[in-house]
A and B are shown apart, each in its own frame.
Chain A
Amino acid sequence: MTLFLDALNWIFDPANYVGDGSIPSRLLEHLVFTFVTLLMASMLALPLGFLIGHTGRGRGLAVAVSGGLRALPTLGLLTLVALWVGIGLEAPYVALTVLAIPPVLAGAYTGFEAIDRATIDAARSVGMSEWQIVRKVEIPLGLPLLIGGLRSGTLQVVATATLAAYVADFGLGRFLFSGLKTRDYAEMLGGSILVILLALVLEGIFSVIHRVILPRGVAAGRPTEVRAGSVRPRPGMESTIAKGRK
């Protein structure tokens, strides 16, 4: 109990709010890192996910690859890349982007796949080009699942970004590693609490976004969460795309 009080004291200690490595600057670093990582992961995963979702091709490969990426231990990857490119932020950016790709990718293509085939067929029949179908039909209707994927990716990154401090003087993880080294458990616990709070706040923001972007007029009851299990192929899913209409 006293440890918790010490941690809270550490969090509210004004001395921790000034100078280099203060709580606000660490918090900002952590946030910026998370944001940039998500941005990089999205830049890679969204176009690919849209392509897979739109064409219905390459899904098996995507499932296998993102399953593989998920299985990579982030700390191991981080160490490996750090040994290769050296100490600094490059290694955490690479490792965490790899961590964020699978959920974003899954969110992108499952979002497209969840759309009724008849709706897309109709859009094509009235004369939408493929690109217009993606932009005006598939992205708006797939958005809830896509945001779900970003949300789950963000939470993973914001929690795992503490590892960036392993190879760089960076982010909230710094408090954990330096606390561990100096046996300052108040600082360690305080740092963890801050990470948890940040994750909760981001989760809150995403749940608001989720509610706002849900296309009006789309019937409720559609799956909106992309969690670990959802990249597994569901029976019958591919066939609906491949089959088309007679």
Chain B
Amino acid sequence: MIEFRSVSKQFPDGTLAVDDFSLVLPSHKTTVLVGSSGSGKTTLLRMINRMVDPTGGAIEIDGVDIAGLEPVKLRRSIGYVMQNSGLLPHRTVVDNVATVPLLRGVPKKRARADALALLDTVGLERSLADRYPSQLSGGQQQRVGVARGLAVNPNILLMDEPFGAVDPIVRAELQQELIRLQRELGKTVVFVTHDVEEAFLLGDQVVILRQGGRVAQVGSPTEILASPADDFVASFVGADRGKRALHLESQGGRDILVDSEGRLAGVLTGGSRPGEADPVPGSGASAQGGDSR
């Protein structure tokens, strides 16, 4: 469990990136921090492995204040996956994955064997093990990045817009892979993105941030979509427009779903309720004003 307690971060130039932020991130769940640029989401993420130190408040991991931990040691116990993979260009795939275990003193042979096994885990061919990052596609690099993040078998995995730089098809593929991995491994994942769709797809808990690292709403995707805390959240998740604001129209005895632009979105099947697969609010805009905090 990761707990933020009234955390603030003011950069030396005076910018207040995070202001009095409190949140509990439950273990073995995926928490997604979502917000536009300047919302402090990356700063919050980087505070967890002390890449950024808060100027106020405290962060605890399983009840231990991380301010008292040695940053290098702490980072080696936390998986980190970033945009553009952040792989070392002069090391092969397998060496990149084995980097942190080797730093922690795992014998070379075992580190290599573990790294190869991790390539299987993230769905990469072992034949890629001796390639260099520049010889891989963006999606493959990102998978290597995930493998490296998992290499020390950390309880916590931090992911900073890991799928931001790959094309939509590969992104969808990687998202599904992450869902599969998370089902198997059950890590405490902290995921940062600016993409609401991604946040709702991956998050057990979604945190919507506004400028300055202030929480606009915390909840499950269903809760947020069903009852946005305010206009900001509603417009951020797009509940009042586009593909999310669906309404029913009856046509020839069947119920047809139409989006806010009047485009056909689908048909309602199997009775009047679509079950619980995907939350489809009857009309998102009308749910405004609810207080789900």
User: Which residues of chain A have a CB within 8 Å of any CB of chain B?
Assistant: 116, 118-119, 121-129, 132, 136-137, 140-141, 215-219, 245-246
| Bound Cα distance A126, B71 (Å) | 10
A127 and B89 within 8 A (CB): no
Question: Which residues of the partner chain B approach A137 to less than 8 Å between Cβ atoms?
Answer: 88
A125 and B49 within 8 A (CB): yes
A122 and B86 within 8 A (CB): yes
A119 and B132 within 8 A (CB): no
Contact among B37, B76, B89, B100 for A219, CB-based, below 8 A: B89
Contact among B76, B82, B90 for A218, CB-based, below 8 A: B90
Q: Mark B195-214, 1 if CB is under 8 A from A, else 0.
A: 00000000000000000000
Nearest-Cβ distance from residue B122 to partner chain A, whole angstroms: 16
| Bound Cα distance A121, B46 (Å) | 11
> B273 on the interface (CB 8 Å rule)?
no
> B148 on the interface (CB 8 Å rule)?
yes
B86 and A125 within 8 A (CB): yes
Question: Which residues of the partner chain A approach B17 to less than 8 Å between Cβ atoms?
Answer: 246
Given A125-B75, A128-B72, check contact A217 B100 (CB 8 Å).
Answer: no
Q: Mark B24-53, 1 if CB is under 8 A from A, else 0.
A: 000000000000011000110010010100
Contact among A116, A136, A217 for B92, CB-based, below 8 A: A217
B82 and A219 within 8 A (CB): no
Contact among B42, B80, B85, B103 for A246, CB-based, below 8 A: B42
Question: Which residues of the partner chain A approach B38 to less than 8 Å between Cβ atoms?
Answer: 246
B51 and A125 within 8 A (CB): yes
| Bound Cα distance A209, B77 (Å) | 39
Closest 5 CB pairs of A and B: A217-B132, A122-B86, A127-B76, A215-B90, A127-B75
Contact among A121, A129, A141, A246 for B90, CB-based, below 8 A: A141
**Most-contacted residue by chain A among B72, B84, B148 (CB, 10 A):** B72
> B99 on the interface (CB 8 Å rule)?
yes
> B87 on the interface (CB 8 Å rule)?
yes
B100 and A119 within 8 A (CB): no
Given A216-B132, A217-B134, A218-B134, check contact A128 B86 (CB 8 Å).
Answer: no
Nearest-Cβ distance from residue B82 to partner chain A, whole angstroms: 6
